[in-house]
Amino acid sequence: MILSRFITAILVITWIPPYTSHAFELQLTNAPAQVYFSPRGGAQTAIVDAIGQARESIYVQAYSFTSAPIAKSLVDAARRGVKVVVILDKSQRSERYTGATFLRNEGIPVYIDDKHAIAHNKVMVIDGDEVVTGSFNFTKAAEEKNAENLLIIKDAGLAKLYMENWKNHREHSESY
């Protein structure tokens, strides 16, 4: 009887509710994609080029942001009338070198997502129909030293899903 209660107590204490999947299913058809691998695989240049072709909007989520060429290209896009808004991880408040201050000083709205252990996204949604994502942090080290990957996918349905996620994170982020 005592052993039975002990086992029941262990089961109750260690029971973990089943994980509920929040996967979004999406069929990509005729969705052009580019794939890059680093170090020195052209990912940073591809991002700068994608930003340079933006016409309407660029929404950014990034964990780390120290790439001067990417930061400069976002500023250039904003200056030509493209709406640019950035959400960064809370670590960017205290990092010694970060694009957050540079972007904010150039008039780009920057927000800090501090509601998670880390906001580890590396995403750009461009013009509502293009997604830039992968493990590639927007940093010099990602381009020159790290083993990273980057995908640029042209698909409005995929961009819509990423944009909805971006908006959810923006709602709980604080202005930098």
Catalytic center residues: 120, 122, 127
CA–CA separation, 135 and 150 (whole Å): 6
Q: Tell me the two tokens of residue 143.
A: 């381009």
**Who's near 60: CB < 8 A, 6+ residues apart?**
74, 84, 85, 86, 87, 123, 124, 138
The answer to whether 160 and 133 have CB atoms below 8 angstroms apart is no
Give me Rg for the CA atoms of the chain. Answer: 20
